A and B are shown apart, each in its own frame.
Chain A
Amino acid sequence: MTTLSRNAPETIALSARSVRASLGNGPAKTAVLHDVSLDIVAGKWTSIVGPNGAGKSTLLKVLAGVLPHSGTVHLLGRELHRIAHRERARQLAWLGQNEASADDLTVWDVAMLGRLPHQAWLSAPSAADQAAVENALRATQAWDWRFRALGQLSGGERQRVLLARALAVQAQVLLMDEPLANLDPPHQADWLAVVQALVAQGTTVVSVLHEISMALHADRVVVMAQGRVTHHGASGDAATHAALVNVFDRRIAIHAIEGQWVALPKTHPGLPAVVSRSQLC
């Protein structure tokens, strides 16, 4: 793992030390994270990438404080599990993958859940809450269907509402697990703009992404494999690209196209081509 020491001292938003975590119970329990240590720089966008089953989502859950683990996690210098629940919830928002869908809540109600950590128990939403929810729903272009039930939306529309829920928290640190699931390309581009705007305002963003080209838009990239962090570096670094190519068994190639890094899959050299080149032309 490369350390970050080239630039001036950076604030660390999240730091994990010797983290181990398991999934499942009893005999089915399997270790997913093996001794992970990681520093997430504040005010930057970090993407976590790696093959399926590398432990990316599990690491994100540990960082969010929603999964039991050994080792320590610090949020802005304070030990995560010592921070009061509501205070932590105001500082750190987490968007999970495949969140159970609250089919009967309206889009507005779901986004308003993001304001729970800010509201006194039983108090009506304040003007600030309303504004935060409106901004979040407009940012994900979900404002027009705010009175519809979540169950009446398509997968991509639902994802945008859940994203709005996480944005509405207005936390300093935002963790997102596969935020682009089911989103079409225009809305992926909108998401990119939202994240870049948040980072410009000083928010720390951490995302788990399987679209490598999207992940390479981030400031920093964490590469994971088999429950370990194998590389952590700037997204433009050749070493980061090499680590990515390695972790995917050299089955991807990273090219610079129109000023963007683009990862393209490569067919396996040993596999027969199902479609011949002449058919493609």
Chain B
Amino acid sequence: MMQPRAWWLLWAGVLGALALTAVGICVGSAGFENLLQPLLHPQLDPGRSAMAQQIVWEIRLPRTLGAWAAGALLGLAGAVAQGLFRNPLADPYLLGSASGASLGVALALAALGGGAGMLGGNMMNGSVPVSVFSSSVWVRLGLTGAAFCGAVLAVLLTLVLSRGVGHTLRLLLAGVVVGVVLGAMTHLVLLFSPDSLQAMQAFMLGSTAFVGWTSCVLMAAVWCVCVLVAWLLARVLDGLSLGDATAVSLGLPIAPMRAALVAVLALATGTAVAQTGLIAFVGLAAPHLVRSVVKTTHGHLMLLSSLVGGVLLMAADTLARGLIAPQELPVGVLTAVLGGGYLLWLMHRGQAHEGGRA
């Protein structure tokens, strides 16, 4: 039974994404310029149309769609994390999985002697450059794999340190500790492999600038897998929201399903981080935004969070590109500022509510 408000949000998400795609392909280093006209009416100016086509097809469209996919992965991961840990503050980043993923990427780069790629590096010698900016399928897959392993290990480490998910405060503290320690280790790794330092710098601020079709397709494929698995396991999250014991009494095999959901969380986060770096708060804000509009089951919540996450990151990315053109803000910086503000407002509103009730 899908509520009218959920339908409304679903359509808003889809239409928002379409509108932002149209806007996104028109925003670049020259600020906003209407490329839709030469694209749709090539007969007016064939030369300009060809150029527009090249810009849009090779750079802006994969980047815009990639921003949606990364945001969708983060929104999904956030909804999974909040349901899994029964904690509205859980997000892919607070549990250390993102730091784990970025450590995985840094280690892979250092081990493979990855340099700055597009910024110089080993482009000259003809071999496939190993870089966060590379568009080779194998490099992207390898980096995603490394990020995934890092994310899984980080989440497991957090769970071990917090001795399970029962104690919220311990879980969050453990997540923060793991995040800080793994972040420090990432910096240490980069210190010893100066070649990758500059590239990783941009990466760790979070950016969609280097998302090409390979990354885009990879993220879309992982998104399909994650959404499918999450949808299959949504009822477990509903059951778990009444507590572990009640979920067991309802006949749910919670241990294997919880492991599968942690895998979804790590895969979604790892894939997004491997392509776009550390983009904060999208995973936290998207489920909250959905819940503030509609109270619904986890199946719908995860799907809607994913759509909203995609739209949020697309909007932030378009802003990041256009705000100070021809310069570009790292989108991670923008989401951190906007997301932090949103979280503060949420806390303030929560306090006001509690005050009103008491």
Contacts and interface: CB of A to CB of B under 8 A. Distances in A.
Interface of A: 25, 61, 64-67, 84-90, 92-94, 96, 99-102, 104-106, 108-110, 113-114, 116-117, 121-122, 147, 149, 151, 162, 165
Contact of A64 (B235, B242, B249): B249
B50 interface: no
B232 A104 contact: no
B122 interface: no
Given A99-B246, A105-B241, A116-B250, 11 more contacts: A67-B245, A84-B251, A85-B251, A86-B251, A88-B251, A89-B251, A96-B249, A99-B242, A99-B243, A101-B242, A105-B297
Contacts, number: 82
A104 B242 contact: no
A113 B242 contact: yes
Given A85-B253, A105-B297, A100 B241 contact: yes
A110 to B, nearest CB: 7
Contacts of B163: 25
A102 B249 contact: no
Nearest to B295: A149
Contacts of B243: 96, 99-100
30 contacts: A64-B249, A66-B246, A66-B249, A84-B251, A85-B251, A85-B252, A86-B251, A89-B249, A89-B250, A89-B251, A90-B251, A94-B249, A96-B245, A96-B249, A102-B241, A104-B241, A104-B295, A104-B296, A104-B301, A105-B297, A109-B296, A109-B297, A110-B242, A113-B238, A113-B250, A116-B235, A122-B232, A147-B3, A151-B295, A162-B242
Contacts of B238: 102, 105, 109, 113
A209 B162 CA distance: 34
Interface in B216-247: 232, 235, 238-239, 241-243, 245-246
Interface string B290-312: 01000111000100000000000
Contacts of A90: 251
Query: Chain B binding site: helix, strand, loop or mixed by DSSP?
Result: loop
A151 B252 CA distance: 24
Contacts of B3: 147
Contacts of B242: 99-102, 110, 113, 162, 165
Nearest to B232: A122
Given A100-B242, A110-B242, A113-B238, A105 B249 contact: no
B170 to A, nearest CB: 13
A89 B245 CA distance: 12
A136 to B, nearest CB: 14
Interface in B1-24: 1, 3
Contacts of A64: 245, 249
Contacts of A67: 245
Contacts of B297: 105, 109
A148 to B, nearest CB: 8
Nearest to A116: B250
Interface in B269-298: 291, 295-297
Contacts of B296: 104-106, 109
Interface string B67-111: 000000000000000000010000000000000000000000000
B55 to A, nearest CB: 43
B248 interface: yes
B67 to A, nearest CB: 28
A88 B297 CA distance: 25
- CB-based closest 7 A-B pairs: A89-B251, A102-B241, A149-B295, A100-B243, A86-B251, A85-B251, A94-B249
A39 B292 CA distance: 49
Contacts of A105: 238, 241, 295-297
Given A105-B238, A105-B297, A122-B232, A117 B245 contact: no
